[in-house]
């Protein structure tokens, strides 16, 4: 805390700034209302203000310009309105808490020091020169996050500015009232951070703008890397830093970057709702949020039903270790590997020489264009032309062929038959068409006459228009055209390529596979992997692990569909994506920079990717010189006791550093029967609720176990439990029963691990899932088991937890 004199000065300054803010808001209010009304008026009376006259070319031009002028006026008013509205909203936000930090900085060579107050947006005095508050994203404000008092510097577009930071101060201001002021000497305010972290969990993520840590600031402000990889321990603030980074980018590039040019890939739809308030809280619009699954479904269309990653993980967690199971697991791993990616690239080369798969173009139960014809045509193109370009050529050829075939088809018997059954509307359509045709004929006649007059030729006497004959011709043309329309459409969609066949033919004999893929090696369970994959395809279904490779093959053959608008993509829980998925994202968004945030310690999916280290393929995606890796090792979410417990679950977890916030040690309770345990759990839940913890999760391994826990606890009389499934759309406070894989990325005041026995968590592959579940706890962690504890707990030092006997 600071001395009384300083407190008084700060109090006075806050009053002054508040007053100025109020004045500015009062000034802006009529301006905002005026502009809104003006824009509304212009929109309403738009057509009264323009003179529409198209009688002559001149009148037409005048009308055109008058509309353009009116449009420009309207858009100028709307822009001014939006701008003023934004300012007004910014001021309103500041009014509650104008700033949270201050640094006094003396730039080298200048004889005075400047007081830099930092808040969520800038506020300039009426002179237009002095900043009463600096936006936290301005270059000068970066020193607040990067330095302790002493020598400091910041980068500007004009170069580096060096000097001395003489003071660093933090404020807590709520609803315009000064509650606390801290002077900090070391890194930014552990006191304020302590307070923030000691608070309860929320159903929505909070902005961390006042307490961003130095290493997080590096993530937020990195503006040079094509690929930024953040490997950070559970609770180290990866998601928080990512959202602040979005706000930073939107501010720094506000002239050219819009929120919808940024896409965040979230682990599940519920997570979208969890993070959706951070940016609006900072006065920015939300970026686009989606899941990879949504993307896959969009690109796959309706032809194949796609398994989702949650069903895949349920399978991995619940099935017995049979041969099929081992094969599926091996398949998941192989299909996510760099080796398979290379095999598919080689496969595309092979397809350039042979083996393309097409669907014939069928019409009225016969082949109009056969597969053989298509193959011959396709392989007649110059082999040096890229595969996808040859497909384009084939597409053009097919469209031309269809035009010829359509013409021939008009003479077929079925057309005559169909003519007899045309209804009235179709006749009217034909009649209109006919009139248009007559118009064309008439024009052609006139044209010919003039031509002949000019060249003094004798005209052919063909002036009579045979109406009946023409009518039939038009009708025939119309009927056939209508029937050919779907064929053309499907050729345009490239449906003539048998992508399922192309993908399926990979999964056959090992030697054939090797021939097609330049000698690629296959995993041990290859025959079973092939059988499983083909069975799925036969059912028009696709395993989750097949979706991206399937789309990759489709792309290699059909060409890449790109989105060139998007400039930044963020991948949260990045360890859960395969190299295939990264490759796919890179191709899909060729003009975007990528920020990947993840924790290999929480890699719960079989297809995960190591984010850092020598064997990380991710660092090679854009090349090492364009890639930056930042590691976060300090964990902020949980108390020291919980972090000490959870980090011991992971090999290499010792490097995780807990933030100094103390609480109770994790508590282990064991019982002989499920009922006994449920009764105990119900008691603990009631006690936690009575202590004031508003967000509690009972975390299970699978969804079946969630349902079991929910039923048992409800039977014990636990009130208002919520059972969370993959369909739950939003995240709400309360007491939830949730499978671990859905609790990814979110946090709770207290976590109860439903069944931490060796029966439930025993495979080595489940260690990370168990770790992920335990690391969701902020203040309390309670574990339960009937029978033996999981080996992961058994291996822990007994000083890390307390035991309660039932
Ligand atoms: N600089 C900070 N100031 C205040 N709170 C912070 C800071 N950094 C992180 N936190 C808090 O720590 C908690 C964990 O943050 P976050 O969810 O961003 O971590 P994460 O690395 O994405 O975690 P996980 O990988 O486990 O999902 C949140 O409550 C967040 O508000």
pLDDT in tens, 552-585: 999 999 987 888 999 999 999 999 998 889 988 9
Half-sphere exposure of 31 (CA within 13 A, CB side): 15
Compute the distance from residue 259 Cα to the ligand 1 centre, in Å: 23
* Gap between the Cα atoms of 531 and 88, Å rounded: 63
Q: Which CATH number, 3.40.50.970, 3.40.630.30, 3.20.80.10, 3.40.50.300, labels domain 654-805?
A: 3.40.50.300
C-alpha of 169 from chain center: 37
pLDDT of residue 252: 92
Nearest CA to ligand 1 atom 15: 237
Nearest CA to ligand 1 atom 28: 637
Nearest one of 330, 317, 378, 331 to 351, comparing CA atoms: 378
Confidence bin at 237 (pLDDT 50/70/90) = very high
pLDDT of residue 323: 86
pLDDT of residue 618: 87
| 465 pLDDT more than 70 | no
pLDDT digits (tens, 9 = 90+) for 367-405: 999 999 999 999 999 999 999 999 999 999 999 999 999
* Gap between the Cα atoms of 100 and 133, Å rounded: 10
The token pair that represents 291 in the structure block: 């899941």
Quote the longest CA-to-CA distance of the chain: 116
Confidence bin at 431 (pLDDT 50/70/90) = low
pTM over 0.90: no
pLDDT of residue 440: 61
pLDDT digits (tens, 9 = 90+) for 257-277: 999 999 999 988 888 888 888
| 190 pLDDT more than 50 | yes
pLDDT of residue 434: 64
The token pair that represents 176 in the structure block: 């315009």
Q: What residues form DSSP beta bridges with 361?
A: 369
The token pair that represents 491 in the structure block: 């050729």
Q: What is the mean pLDDT of residues 629-650?
A: 94
pLDDT digits (tens, 9 = 90+) for 97-137: 999 999 999 999 988 899 999 999 999 988 888 899 999 99
- 4 SS3 class: helix
Q: Which helix (H) or strand (E) holds 70?
A: helix 57-96
Nearest CA to ligand 1 atom 25: 234
Confidence bin at 49 (pLDDT 50/70/90) = low
Backbone angles phi, psi at 610, to 5 degrees: -70, 130
- 322 SS3 class: coil
Lowest mean pLDDT among 123-132, 205-214, 414-423, 677-686: 414-423
Lowest mean pLDDT among 12-16, 51-55, 185-189, 714-718: 185-189
Q: What is the mean pLDDT of residues 267-288?
A: 87
* Gap between the Cα atoms of 776 and 781, Å rounded: 9
Cβ neighbours of residue 120 under 8 Å, at least 6 residues apart?
A: 90, 93, 94, 97, 135, 136, 209, 282, 283
Confidence bin at 516 (pLDDT 50/70/90) = very high
Q: Binding residue per annotation — 235?
A: yes
Q: What is the mean pLDDT of the chain?
A: 87
Q: What is the mean pLDDT of residues 28-51?
A: 71
Half-sphere exposure of 340 (CA within 13 A, CB side): 27
Q: Binding residue per annotation — 687?
A: no
Helices (H) and strands (E) in the chain, counts: 28, 26
Q: Binding residue per annotation — 322?
A: no
Whether this model's ipTM surpasses 0.90 comes out as yes
Nearest CA to ligand 1 atom 8: 237
pLDDT > 70 in the chain, percent: 91
pLDDT > 90 in the chain, percent: 55
| 187 pLDDT more than 80 | no
pLDDT of residue 460: 47
Half-sphere exposure of 212 (CA within 13 A, CB side): 33
pLDDT digits (tens, 9 = 90+) for 661-670: 889 999 999 9
| Position with higher pLDDT, 340 vs 300 | 340
**Residue 706, ligand 1, Cβ within 6 A:** no
Q: What residues form DSSP beta bridges with 289?
A: 264
Compute the distance from residue 548 Cα to the ligand 1 centre, in Å: 31
CA distances from 518 to 42, 342, 501 (A): 67, 10, 20
Q: Are 142 and 221 in contact (CB under 8 A)?
A: yes
**Residue 240, ligand 1, Cβ within 6 A:** yes
Q: Is the dihedral of CA 80, 82, 84, 87 positive or negative?
A: negative
Compute the distance from residue 137 Cα to the ligand 1 centre, in Å: 19
Confidence bin at 422 (pLDDT 50/70/90) = confident
**Residue 238, ligand 1, Cβ within 6 A:** yes
Measured from the CA of 240, which atom of ligand 1 is nearest? 18
| 753 pLDDT more than 50 | yes
Q: What is the mean pLDDT of residues 334-355?
A: 93
Lowest mean pLDDT among 149-163, 311-325, 519-533, 590-604: 311-325
Confidence bin at 687 (pLDDT 50/70/90) = very high
The token pair that represents 245 in the structure block: 């980074």
Highest mean pLDDT among 20-24, 83-87, 317-321: 20-24
| 254 pLDDT more than 70 | yes
Please give the angle made by the CA atoms of 797, 799 and 800, to the nearest 5 degrees.
Answer: 75
pLDDT of residue 108: 93
Measured from the CA of 776, which atom of ligand 1 is nearest? 26
Q: Binding residue per annotation — 533?
A: no
Nearest one of 564, 595, 563, 556 to 577, comparing CA atoms: 595
| 458 pLDDT more than 50 | no
**Residue 207, ligand 1, Cβ within 6 A:** no
| Position with higher pLDDT, 506 vs 562 | 506
């Amino acid at each position: 805390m600071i001395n009384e004199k300083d407190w008084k000065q700060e109090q006075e300054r806050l009053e002054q700034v508040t007053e100025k803010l109020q004045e500015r808001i009062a000034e802006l209010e009529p301006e905002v209302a005026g502009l809104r009304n003006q824009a509304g008026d212009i929109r309403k009376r738009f057509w009264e203000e323009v003179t529409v006259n198209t009688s002559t070319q001149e009148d037409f031009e005048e009308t055109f310009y008058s509309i353009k002028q009116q449009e420009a006026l309207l858009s100028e008013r709307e822009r001014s309105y939006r701008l003023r509205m934004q300012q007004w909203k910014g001021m309103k936000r500041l009014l509650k808490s104008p700033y949270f930090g201050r640094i006094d900085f003396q730039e080298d060579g200048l004889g005075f020091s400047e007081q830099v107050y930092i808040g969520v947006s800038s506020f300039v005095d009426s002179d237009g020169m002095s900043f009463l508050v600096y936006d936290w994203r301005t270059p000068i404000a970066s020193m607040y996050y990067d330095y302790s008092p002493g020598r400091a510097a910041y980068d500007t577009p004009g170069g580096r500015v060096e000097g001395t930071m003489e003071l660093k101060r933090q404020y807590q201001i709520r609803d315009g009232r000064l509650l606390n002021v801290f002077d900090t000497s070391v890194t930014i305010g552990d006191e304020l951070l302590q307070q923030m972290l000691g608070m309860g969990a929320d159903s929505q993520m909070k902005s961390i703008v006042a307490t961003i840590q130095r290493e997080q600031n590096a993530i937020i402000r990195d503006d040079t890397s094509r690929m930024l990889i953040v490997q950070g321990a559970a609770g180290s603030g990866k998601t928080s830093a990512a959202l602040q980074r979005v706000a930073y980018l939107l501010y720094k590039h506000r002239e050219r970057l819009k929120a919808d040019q940024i896409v965040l890939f979230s682990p599940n739809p519920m997570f979208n709702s969890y993070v959706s308030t951070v940016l609006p809280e900072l006065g920015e619009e939300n970026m686009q949020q989606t899941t990879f699954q949504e993307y896959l479904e969009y690109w796959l269309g309706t032809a194949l039903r796609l398994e989702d990653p949650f069903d895949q993980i349920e399978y991995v967690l619940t099935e017995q270790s049979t041969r099929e199971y081992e094969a599926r697991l091996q398949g998941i791993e192989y299909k996510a590997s760099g080796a398979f990616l290379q095999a598919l690239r080689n496969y595309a080369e092979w397809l350039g020489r042979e083996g393309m798969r097409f669907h014939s173009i069928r019409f009225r139960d016969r082949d109009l264009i056969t597969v053989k014809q298509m193959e011959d045509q396709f392989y007649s193109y110059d082999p040096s032309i890229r595969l996808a370009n040859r497909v384009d050529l084939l597409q053009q050829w097919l469209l031309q062929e269809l035009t010829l075939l359509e013409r021939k088809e008009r003479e077929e018997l079925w057309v005559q038959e169909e003519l007899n059954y045309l209804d009235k509307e179709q006749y009217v359509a034909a009649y209109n068409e006919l009139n248009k045709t007559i118009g064309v004929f008439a024009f052609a006649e006139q044209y010919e006459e003039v031509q002949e007059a000019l060249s003094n030729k004798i005209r052919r006497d063909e002036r009579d228009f045979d109406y009946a004959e023409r009518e039939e011709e038009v009708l025939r043309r119309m009927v056939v055209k209508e029937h050919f329309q779907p064929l053309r459409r499907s050729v345009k969609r490239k449906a003539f390529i048998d992508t399922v066949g192309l993908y399926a033919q990979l999964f056959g004999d090992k030697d054939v596979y090797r021939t097609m893929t330049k000698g690629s090696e296959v995993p041990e369970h290859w025959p079973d992997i092939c059988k499983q994959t083909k069975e799925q395809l036969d059912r028009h279904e696709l395993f989750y692990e097949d979706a991206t490779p399937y789309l990759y093959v489709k792309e290699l053959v059909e060409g890449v569909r790109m989105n060139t608008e998007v400039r930044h993509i963020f991948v949260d829980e990045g360890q859960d994506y395969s190299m295939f998925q990264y490759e796919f994202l890179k191709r899909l968004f060729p003009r975007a920079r990528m920020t990947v945030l993840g924790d290999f310690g929480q890699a719960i999916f079989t297809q995960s990717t190591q984010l850092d280290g020598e064997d990380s393929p991710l660092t090679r995606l854009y090349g090492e010189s364009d890639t930056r890796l930042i590691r976060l090792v300090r964990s902020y979410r949980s108390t020291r006791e919980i972090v000490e417990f959870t980090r011991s679950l992971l090999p290499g977890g010792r490097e995780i550093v807990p933030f100094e916030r103390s609480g109770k040690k994790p508590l282990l309770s064991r019982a002989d029967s499920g009922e006994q345990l449920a009764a105990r759990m119900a008691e603990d839940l009631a006690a936690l609720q009575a202590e004031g913890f508003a967000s509690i999760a009972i975390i299970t391994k699978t969804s079946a176990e969630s349902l079991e826990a929910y039923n048992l606890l409800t039977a014990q009389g636990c009130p208002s439990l919520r059972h969370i499934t993959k369909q739950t759309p939003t995240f709400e406070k309360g007491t939830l029963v949730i499978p671990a894989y859905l609790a990814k990325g979110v946090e709770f005041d207290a976590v109860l691990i439903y069944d931490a026995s060796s029966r439930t968590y025993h495979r080595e592959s489940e260690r990370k899932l168990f770790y992920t579940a335990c690391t969701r706890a902020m203040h309390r962690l309670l574990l339960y088991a009937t029978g033996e504890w999981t080996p992961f707990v058994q291996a822990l030092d007994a000083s890390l937890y307390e035991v309660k006997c039932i």
